[in-house]
Protein backbone atom coordinates (compact mmCIF):
# COMPACT_ATOMS: atom_id res chain seq x y z
CA UNK A 1 0.00 0.00 0.00
CA UNK A 2 1.55 3.29 -1.09
CA UNK A 3 1.34 6.09 1.46
CA UNK A 4 1.90 9.84 1.25
CA UNK A 5 2.90 12.60 3.68
CA UNK A 6 4.37 16.06 3.14
CA UNK A 7 6.34 17.55 6.07
CA UNK A 8 4.89 20.99 5.31
CA UNK A 9 1.56 19.76 6.69
CA UNK A 10 2.92 20.49 10.18
CA UNK A 11 3.05 24.23 9.41
CA UNK A 12 -0.60 24.57 10.42
CA UNK A 13 -0.54 24.98 14.21
CA UNK A 14 -3.97 26.16 15.36
CA UNK A 15 -4.15 27.49 18.88
CA UNK A 16 -7.81 28.17 19.56
CA UNK A 17 -11.04 26.18 19.59
CA UNK A 18 -14.36 27.50 20.88
CA UNK A 19 -16.67 24.93 22.48
CA UNK A 20 -19.70 25.57 24.66
CA UNK A 21 -18.72 29.21 25.02
CA UNK A 22 -15.23 28.37 26.31
CA UNK A 23 -11.93 29.09 24.56
CA UNK A 24 -10.01 25.82 24.56
CA UNK A 25 -6.76 24.52 23.04
CA UNK A 26 -7.37 23.28 19.51
CA UNK A 27 -7.29 19.45 19.44
CA UNK A 28 -6.25 19.29 15.76
CA UNK A 29 -2.56 19.52 16.67
CA UNK A 30 0.42 18.99 14.40
CA UNK A 31 1.56 16.19 16.71
CA UNK A 32 -1.15 14.00 15.20
CA UNK A 33 1.12 13.60 12.17
CA UNK A 34 3.89 11.81 14.06
CA UNK A 35 1.45 9.46 15.78
CA UNK A 36 -0.35 8.61 12.54
CA UNK A 37 2.91 8.21 10.63
CA UNK A 38 4.12 5.62 13.13
CA UNK A 39 0.76 3.86 12.93
CA UNK A 40 0.96 3.70 9.14
CA UNK A 41 4.53 2.41 9.23
CA UNK A 42 3.51 -0.29 11.71
CA UNK A 43 0.97 -1.43 9.11
CA UNK A 44 3.74 -1.78 6.54
CA UNK A 45 3.43 1.58 4.79
CA UNK A 46 6.49 3.46 3.56
CA UNK A 47 5.58 7.13 3.57
CA UNK A 48 6.66 9.15 0.55
CA UNK A 49 6.33 12.82 -0.29
CA UNK A 50 3.68 13.61 -2.90
CA UNK A 51 4.45 15.45 -6.09
CA UNK A 52 2.96 18.85 -6.76
CA UNK A 53 0.06 18.50 -9.17
CA UNK A 54 -0.72 22.20 -8.93
CA UNK A 55 -3.96 23.92 -8.05
CA UNK A 56 -6.04 22.27 -10.79
CA UNK A 57 -7.16 19.16 -8.86
CA UNK A 58 -8.10 21.34 -5.87
CA UNK A 59 -9.93 23.89 -8.01
CA UNK A 60 -11.93 21.04 -9.51
CA UNK A 61 -13.98 20.94 -6.29
CA UNK A 62 -13.37 24.39 -4.74
CA UNK A 63 -14.28 27.82 -6.13
CA UNK A 64 -11.50 30.19 -7.20
CA UNK A 65 -13.01 32.88 -4.95
CA UNK A 66 -12.58 30.60 -1.95
CA UNK A 67 -9.04 29.60 -2.90
CA UNK A 68 -8.10 33.27 -3.21
CA UNK A 69 -9.50 33.80 0.28
CA UNK A 70 -7.51 30.93 1.79
CA UNK A 71 -4.27 32.03 0.12
CA UNK A 72 -4.47 35.68 1.11
CA UNK A 73 -6.65 36.12 4.18
CA UNK A 74 -3.99 35.79 6.88
CA UNK A 75 -1.82 38.51 5.34
CA UNK A 76 -4.84 40.79 5.00
CA UNK A 77 -6.05 39.96 8.51
CA UNK A 78 -2.74 40.97 10.07
CA UNK A 79 -3.16 44.46 8.60
CA UNK A 80 -6.18 45.03 10.84
CA UNK A 81 -5.18 47.07 13.86
CA UNK A 82 -5.35 44.94 16.98
CA UNK A 83 -6.16 41.73 15.09
CA UNK A 84 -5.27 38.38 16.65
CA UNK A 85 -2.72 35.99 15.19
CA UNK A 86 -5.43 33.70 13.79
CA UNK A 87 -8.31 34.42 11.44
CA UNK A 88 -11.42 33.60 13.47
CA UNK A 89 -14.69 35.18 12.32
CA UNK A 90 -16.97 37.03 14.70
CA UNK A 91 -19.89 37.04 12.26
CA UNK A 92 -21.58 34.25 10.33
CA UNK A 93 -24.34 35.13 7.84
CA UNK A 94 -27.56 33.23 8.41
CA UNK A 95 -28.02 33.19 4.63
CA UNK A 96 -25.26 33.94 2.16
CA UNK A 97 -26.65 36.03 -0.70
CA UNK A 98 -25.13 37.10 -4.01
CA UNK A 99 -23.40 39.95 -2.19
CA UNK A 100 -19.73 39.42 -1.32
CA UNK A 101 -18.01 41.65 1.26
CA UNK A 102 -14.69 43.30 0.50
CA UNK A 103 -13.79 43.38 4.19
CA UNK A 104 -11.42 40.71 5.51
CA UNK A 105 -13.69 40.32 8.53
CA UNK A 106 -16.75 39.91 6.32
CA UNK A 107 -15.04 37.42 4.05
CA UNK A 108 -13.90 35.39 7.07
CA UNK A 109 -17.52 35.11 8.15
CA UNK A 110 -18.57 34.23 4.62
CA UNK A 111 -15.99 31.46 4.16
CA UNK A 112 -15.63 30.01 7.69
CA UNK A 113 -18.63 28.14 9.04
CA UNK A 114 -17.53 28.08 12.68
CA UNK A 115 -14.73 28.98 15.09
CA UNK A 116 -13.01 25.59 14.79
CA UNK A 117 -11.06 26.44 11.62
CA UNK A 118 -8.64 29.24 12.59
CA UNK A 119 -6.31 30.35 9.79
CA UNK A 120 -2.74 31.27 10.71
CA UNK A 121 0.50 31.90 8.86
CA UNK A 122 1.17 28.32 7.72
CA UNK A 123 -2.41 27.18 7.21
CA UNK A 124 -2.63 27.58 3.44
CA UNK A 125 0.67 25.82 2.76
CA UNK A 126 -0.26 22.95 5.08
CA UNK A 127 -3.75 22.55 3.60
CA UNK A 128 -2.38 22.70 0.05
CA UNK A 129 0.23 20.03 0.88
CA UNK A 130 -2.42 17.89 2.55
CA UNK A 131 -4.55 18.01 -0.60
CA UNK A 132 -1.53 17.05 -2.71
CA UNK A 133 -1.27 13.86 -0.65
CA UNK A 134 -4.85 13.02 -1.65
CA UNK A 135 -4.05 13.74 -5.31
CA UNK A 136 -0.95 11.53 -5.13
CA UNK A 137 -3.00 8.75 -3.56
CA UNK A 138 -5.60 8.94 -6.32
CA UNK A 139 -2.87 8.92 -8.96
CA UNK A 140 -1.34 5.85 -7.31
CA UNK A 141 -4.65 4.02 -7.73
CA UNK A 142 -4.84 5.15 -11.34
CA UNK A 143 -1.32 3.81 -11.79
CA UNK A 144 -2.36 0.35 -10.62
CA UNK A 145 -1.34 0.32 -6.94
CA UNK A 146 -4.70 -1.09 -5.83
CA UNK A 147 -4.62 0.56 -2.41
CA UNK A 148 -3.18 3.66 -0.80
CA UNK A 149 -3.14 5.84 2.29
CA UNK A 150 -2.96 9.64 2.28
CA UNK A 151 -1.96 11.06 5.66
CA UNK A 152 -3.91 14.24 5.16
CA UNK A 153 -3.59 16.80 7.90
CA UNK A 154 -5.32 19.23 8.24
CA UNK A 155 -8.34 17.04 7.48
CA UNK A 156 -10.96 17.95 4.91
CA UNK A 157 -14.45 16.44 5.05
CA UNK A 158 -16.15 19.47 6.65
CA UNK A 159 -14.92 21.78 3.87
CA UNK A 160 -17.53 22.72 1.26
CA UNK A 161 -16.71 24.15 -2.15
CA UNK A 162 -16.33 27.63 -0.64
CA UNK A 163 -16.57 27.13 3.11
CA UNK A 164 -14.16 25.95 5.80
CA UNK A 165 -15.31 24.40 9.05
CA UNK A 166 -14.56 21.84 11.74
CA UNK A 167 -10.73 21.93 11.41
CA UNK A 168 -11.05 21.56 7.60
CA UNK A 169 -10.05 23.88 4.74
CA UNK A 170 -9.68 21.81 1.55
CA UNK A 171 -11.78 18.69 1.05
CA UNK A 172 -9.10 16.08 0.48
CA UNK A 173 -11.49 13.15 0.01
CA UNK A 174 -13.53 15.09 -2.55
CA UNK A 175 -10.34 16.11 -4.38
CA UNK A 176 -9.28 12.46 -4.60
CA UNK A 177 -12.70 11.23 -5.74
CA UNK A 178 -12.98 13.90 -8.41
CA UNK A 179 -9.48 13.05 -9.62
CA UNK A 180 -10.54 9.42 -10.01
CA UNK A 181 -13.84 10.33 -11.67
CA UNK A 182 -12.15 12.64 -14.17
CA UNK A 183 -9.89 9.76 -15.18
CA UNK A 184 -12.90 7.59 -15.99
CA UNK A 185 -13.33 5.70 -12.72
CA UNK A 186 -16.69 5.12 -11.02
CA UNK A 187 -15.86 6.63 -7.62
CA UNK A 188 -17.61 6.42 -4.26
CA UNK A 189 -16.71 8.06 -0.96
CA UNK A 190 -17.28 6.19 2.31
CA UNK A 191 -16.95 8.50 5.32
CA UNK A 192 -16.33 6.63 8.58
CA UNK A 193 -15.55 9.65 10.77
CA UNK A 194 -17.65 10.12 13.93
CA UNK A 195 -18.81 13.45 12.47
CA UNK A 196 -20.89 13.66 9.31
CA UNK A 197 -18.92 14.62 6.19
CA UNK A 198 -21.10 17.63 5.50
CA UNK A 199 -18.66 19.36 3.17
CA UNK A 200 -18.25 16.24 1.07
CA UNK A 201 -22.01 15.83 0.88
CA UNK A 202 -22.41 19.47 -0.13
CA UNK A 203 -19.87 19.26 -2.94
CA UNK A 204 -21.55 16.27 -4.61
CA UNK A 205 -25.17 16.72 -3.48
CA UNK A 206 -26.47 17.76 -6.90
CA UNK A 207 -24.36 15.26 -8.82
CA UNK A 208 -24.94 11.64 -9.71
CA UNK A 209 -21.42 10.77 -10.81
CA UNK A 210 -19.90 10.32 -7.33
CA UNK A 211 -21.66 8.40 -4.55
CA UNK A 212 -21.32 9.78 -1.01
CA UNK A 213 -21.99 7.58 2.04
CA UNK A 214 -21.44 8.65 5.65
CA UNK A 215 -21.71 6.68 8.92
CA UNK A 216 -21.68 9.08 11.86
CA UNK A 217 -23.15 10.12 15.19
CA UNK A 218 -26.72 11.35 14.88
CA UNK A 219 -26.52 15.12 14.21
CA UNK A 220 -29.63 15.80 16.28
CA UNK A 221 -27.22 16.22 19.20
CA UNK A 222 -23.77 16.11 17.62
CA UNK A 223 -21.65 18.26 15.29
CA UNK A 224 -22.32 19.35 12.53
CA UNK A 225 -26.00 19.46 13.65
CA UNK A 226 -27.48 20.88 10.42
CA UNK A 227 -26.40 18.11 8.03
CA UNK A 228 -26.20 14.33 8.13
CA UNK A 229 -29.83 13.33 8.61
CA UNK A 230 -31.10 10.13 7.03
CA UNK A 231 -33.59 11.92 4.77
CA UNK A 232 -30.79 13.78 2.92
CA UNK A 233 -30.60 11.70 -0.25
CA UNK A 234 -29.19 14.12 -2.82
CA UNK A 235 -30.94 16.55 -5.15
CA UNK A 236 -31.57 16.84 -8.88
CA UNK A 237 -29.12 14.64 -10.74
CA UNK A 238 -27.77 13.52 -7.37
CA UNK A 239 -31.04 12.21 -5.95
CA UNK A 240 -30.38 8.77 -4.49
CA UNK A 241 -26.60 9.22 -4.63
CA UNK A 242 -26.15 10.36 -1.02
CA UNK A 243 -26.67 7.96 1.88
CA UNK A 244 -26.48 9.02 5.54
CA UNK A 245 -26.41 6.37 8.26
CA UNK A 246 -26.64 8.23 11.58
CA UNK A 247 -26.10 6.12 14.70
CA UNK A 248 -26.84 6.76 18.36
CA UNK A 249 -24.06 8.00 20.61
CA UNK A 250 -22.05 5.17 22.09
CA UNK A 251 -22.46 2.86 19.09
CA UNK A 252 -20.52 -0.40 19.55
CA UNK A 253 -18.48 -2.50 17.14
CA UNK A 254 -21.57 -4.54 16.35
CA UNK A 255 -23.69 -1.45 15.70
CA UNK A 256 -21.04 0.06 13.48
CA UNK A 257 -20.38 -3.05 11.42
CA UNK A 258 -24.10 -3.47 10.77
CA UNK A 259 -24.21 0.05 9.33
CA UNK A 260 -21.04 -0.63 7.34
CA UNK A 261 -22.69 -3.62 5.69
CA UNK A 262 -25.52 -1.34 4.50
CA UNK A 263 -22.98 1.20 3.26
CA UNK A 264 -20.97 -1.38 1.32
CA UNK A 265 -24.14 -2.76 -0.29
CA UNK A 266 -25.04 0.72 -1.55
CA UNK A 267 -21.51 1.20 -2.90
CA UNK A 268 -21.83 -2.09 -4.78
CA UNK A 269 -25.21 -1.05 -6.19
CA UNK A 270 -23.66 2.19 -7.42
CA UNK A 271 -21.28 0.10 -9.52
CA UNK A 272 -18.22 1.71 -7.97
CA UNK A 273 -14.82 0.53 -9.12
CA UNK A 274 -12.83 2.91 -6.90
CA UNK A 275 -13.45 3.77 -3.25
CA UNK A 276 -12.20 6.73 -1.23
CA UNK A 277 -12.49 6.06 2.50
CA UNK A 278 -12.63 9.27 4.53
CA UNK A 279 -10.92 7.67 7.49
CA UNK A 280 -11.98 9.11 10.81
CA UNK A 281 -10.37 7.31 13.74
CA UNK A 282 -12.42 9.38 16.17
CA UNK A 283 -15.09 6.66 16.32
CA UNK A 284 -12.85 4.95 18.91
CA UNK A 285 -14.11 4.58 22.47
CA UNK A 286 -11.18 6.59 23.86
CA UNK A 287 -11.16 9.43 21.33
CA UNK A 288 -11.52 12.84 23.04
CA UNK A 289 -14.82 13.50 21.24
CA UNK A 290 -16.45 10.43 22.84
CA UNK A 291 -19.03 9.87 20.13
CA UNK A 292 -18.86 6.11 19.57
CA UNK A 293 -17.43 3.10 21.40
CA UNK A 294 -15.65 1.28 18.56
CA UNK A 295 -12.64 -0.75 19.74
CA UNK A 296 -9.27 -1.37 18.11
CA UNK A 297 -10.52 -4.84 17.13
CA UNK A 298 -13.48 -3.10 15.55
CA UNK A 299 -11.12 -1.07 13.37
CA UNK A 300 -9.48 -4.25 12.13
CA UNK A 301 -12.91 -5.65 11.26
CA UNK A 302 -13.80 -2.41 9.44
CA UNK A 303 -10.66 -2.71 7.32
CA UNK A 304 -11.42 -6.33 6.50
CA UNK A 305 -15.01 -5.65 5.45
CA UNK A 306 -13.97 -2.78 3.20
CA UNK A 307 -11.37 -5.02 1.57
CA UNK A 308 -13.96 -7.71 0.83
CA UNK A 309 -15.53 -5.40 -1.76
CA UNK A 310 -12.49 -5.92 -3.95
CA UNK A 311 -12.30 -2.26 -5.00
CA UNK A 312 -9.29 -0.08 -5.58
CA UNK A 313 -9.23 1.82 -2.30
CA UNK A 314 -7.64 5.02 -1.04
CA UNK A 315 -7.78 5.79 2.68
CA UNK A 316 -7.73 9.55 3.26
CA UNK A 317 -7.08 10.61 6.83
CA UNK A 318 -9.80 12.68 8.49
CA UNK A 319 -10.40 12.86 12.26
CA UNK A 320 -8.87 10.93 15.11
CA UNK A 321 -7.37 12.96 17.91
CA UNK A 322 -4.54 12.42 20.36
CA UNK A 323 -5.06 9.40 22.60
CA UNK A 324 -2.96 6.40 23.57
CA UNK A 325 -4.77 4.28 20.98
CA UNK A 326 -4.63 6.62 17.95
CA UNK A 327 -1.64 5.10 16.17
CA UNK A 328 -2.67 1.53 16.96
CA UNK A 329 -6.13 2.16 15.53
CA UNK A 330 -4.66 3.28 12.22
CA UNK A 331 -2.44 0.19 12.19
CA UNK A 332 -5.52 -1.95 12.88
CA UNK A 333 -7.67 -0.63 10.03
CA UNK A 334 -4.89 -0.58 7.43
CA UNK A 335 -3.61 -3.95 8.60
CA UNK A 336 -7.08 -5.46 8.53
CA UNK A 337 -7.60 -4.19 5.00
CA UNK A 338 -4.24 -5.50 3.76
CA UNK A 339 -4.78 -8.90 5.36
CA UNK A 340 -8.15 -9.34 3.65
CA UNK A 341 -7.35 -7.72 0.30
Assess contact for 311 and 275: CB atoms under 8 A: yes
180 backbone dihedrals φ, ψ, rounded to 5°: -65, -45
Question: Virtual CA dihedral for 26, 284, 299, 1, nearest 10 degrees?
Answer: 10
Question: Beta strands 147-150 and 2-4: pairing type?
Answer: parallel
3-state secondary structure the chain: CEEECCHHHHHCCCCEEEECCEEEECCCCCCHHHHHHHHHHHCCCEEECCCCCCCHHHHCCCCHHHHHHHHHHHHHHCCCCCCCCCECCCCCCCCCCCCCCCCHHHHHHHHECCCCCCECCCHHHHHHHHHHHHHHHHHHHHCCCCEEEECCCCCCCCCECCEEECCECCCHHHHHHHHHHHCCCCEEEEECCCCCCHHHHHHHCCCCCEEEEEEEECCCCCCCCCCCCCCCCCCHHHCCCEEEEEECCCCCHHHHHHHHHHHHHHHHHCCCCEEEEEECHHHECCCCCCCCCECHHHHHHHHHHHHCCCCEEEEEECCCCCCCCHHHHHHHHHHHHHHHC
- For 27, 139, 175, 277, 282, the CA distances from 193, given in Å and listed in that order, are 15, 23, 17, 10, 6
Q: Any catalytic annotation for residue 158?
A: yes
Among candidate residues 62, 74, 157, 158, the one labeled active-site is: 158
Tell me the β-bridge partners of 213.
Answer: 190, 243
Q: Which residues belong to the active site?
A: 158
Amino acid sequence: MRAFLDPRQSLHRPRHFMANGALLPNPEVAGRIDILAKGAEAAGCVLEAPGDAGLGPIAAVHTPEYLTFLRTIHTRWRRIEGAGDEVIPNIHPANRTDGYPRSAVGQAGYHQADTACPIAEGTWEAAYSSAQCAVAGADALLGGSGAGYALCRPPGHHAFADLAGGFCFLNNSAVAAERLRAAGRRAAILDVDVHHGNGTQGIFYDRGDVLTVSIHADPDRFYPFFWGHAQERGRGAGLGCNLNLPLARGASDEDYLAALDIAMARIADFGADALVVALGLDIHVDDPFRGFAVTSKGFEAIGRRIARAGLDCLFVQEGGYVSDALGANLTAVLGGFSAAA
